[in-house]
Amino acid sequence: MSQDSIRFECADGVARMTLNRPDVLNSFDRAMSARLQEVLHAVSLDETVRAVYLTGAGRAFCAGQDLAEAAPKDAEPIADFAEHVRRMYNPIVLALRGLDKPVVCGVNGVAAGAGANLAFACDLVVAAQEASFIQAFIKIGLVPDTGGTFFLPRLAGTAQATALAMLGEKMSAERAAEIGLIYKACPGAALEETAFGLARQLATQPTRALALIKRMLNASSGATLEAQLELEAECQGEAGRTADYAEGVRAFHEKRSPAFTGK
Ligand code: T3D
């Protein structure tokens, strides 16, 4: 397995993951998927990591499935796409949504097919103004995967989701922000400062409370009001037992900035 298809560094509580196959616009082959799954698992076990940053190397974020691997010129094509999707993409989406730390995605360039939906599975998505999003699947006779049919209607509504999936048109980062698909767009030169800056900021915040917010938002779309109110009560109970809550209130009374430890 190529270790380099994902560059992985940890510093100051932030795990930085960079999709690193720039010659093919960081499209996914099996090795890159396996490595991303591996680093996401490592991060889930590492208490010193309090936020994750995901981005791409070179001019693209990710062009989805490596089409040379899906249908190679001189070899057998992938025989069973269902099994391929189950192994390549579904575990990554579940790992991102289940991770009890915030994931910031810095979309540095085009995000197509599974690459677009990978971004939408993250918690906060900031895209360079030069970036674009394409549900490219339909252009090659496929259907959205990697959670596209789950995230798109929830983020942007059914009308937009239908148009994106059925037309496969390129959408600018600014338009994606306008319709609520992503958090914000910024000039490309400011992406590092803006998006990675958010990850660094989140790594200094009450990590347990952030994890609980993520848990509640994950549950929200399939919950009744009664169930969601009960979940909020449980999560508030848990947040209230953290050292960070005690520190937050102490800092408030002492009129100083809190020093959260993530405990
Ligand atoms: O199991 C399964 O396989 C099913 C799962 C499917 C999941 C999916 O993600 S399906 C969707 C797959 N992705 C696509 O269909 C997108 C294909 N790429 C594009 O449409 C365009 O490349 C982009 C719109 C993303 C960017 O266009 P542009 O003009 O900026 O770049 P380009 O010139 O098309 O690409 C640059 C190079 O990257 C080029 O290689 P070359 O000619 O310089 O040697 C191109 O072939 C390569 N590349 C781009 N996308 C892919 C790719 N190589 C392999 N796989 C790709 N997906």
Least confident of 3-12, 125-134, 182-191, 198-207: 3-12
Burial 231-262 (b: 16+ CB within 10 A, else e): beeebeeebeebebbebbeeeeeeeeebebeb
Cβ neighbours of 263 (radius 10 Å)? 12
- Residue 240 CA, chain-centre distance (Å), reads 28
Percent of the chain topping pLDDT 70: 99
Judged on CB neighbours under 10 Å (0-12, 13-18, 19+), 47 is exposed
Place of tokens 């929200």: 220
Q: What is the mean pLDDT of residues 192-206?
A: 98
Q: What is the mean pLDDT of residues 54-74?
A: 94
User: Residue 17: what pLDDT?
Assistant: 98
User: Residue 237: what pLDDT?
Assistant: 98
CA of residue 227 to ligand 1 center, whole Å: 43
Mean pLDDT (the chain, rounded): 97
Confidence category of residue 75, pLDDT binned at 50, 70, 90:
confident
Place of tokens 């790992």: 95
Q: Determine if ligand 1 sits within 6 Å of the CB of residue 25.
A: yes
Q: Determine if ligand 1 sits within 6 Å of the CB of residue 66.
A: yes
Q: Determine if ligand 1 sits within 6 Å of the CB of residue 145.
A: yes
From 5, 23, 24, the mutation candidate for ligand 1 (largest count of ligand atoms within 8 A of CB) is: 24
User: Residue 74: what pLDDT?
Assistant: 80
Judged on CB neighbours under 10 Å (0-12, 13-18, 19+), 9 is exposed
User: Residue 73: what pLDDT?
Assistant: 81
In this predicted model, what pLDDT tens digit does every residue of 22-53 receive, in sequence order? 999 999 999 999 999 999 999 999 999 999 99
Dist CA 201 CA 24 (whole Å): 32
Q: Determine if ligand 1 sits within 6 Å of the CB of residue 63.
A: yes
Half-sphere exposure of 241 (CA within 13 A, CB side): 6
Q: In this structure, which residue's CA is closest to atom 11 in ligand 1? A: 113
- Determine which helix (DSSP H) or strand (DSSP E) holds 17, and give its type and residue range: strand 14-19
Q: Determine if ligand 1 sits within 6 Å of the CB of residue 150.
A: no
Q: Determine if ligand 1 sits within 6 Å of the CB of residue 110.
A: yes
Q: Determine if ligand 1 sits within 6 Å of the CB of residue 81.
A: yes
User: Residue 3: what pLDDT?
Assistant: 59
CA of residue 131 to ligand 1 center, whole Å: 15
With a cut of 90, say whether residue 245 has pLDDT above it.
Answer: yes
Higher pLDDT, 261 or 76: 261
**Which tokens belong to 4?**
């380099």
CA of residue 141 to ligand 1 center, whole Å: 14
| Alpha helices in the chain, H assignment, sequence order | 30-45, 67-70, 81-88, 90-98, 114-120, 148-156, 158-167, 173-178, 191, 197-202, 207-220, 225-240, 243-253
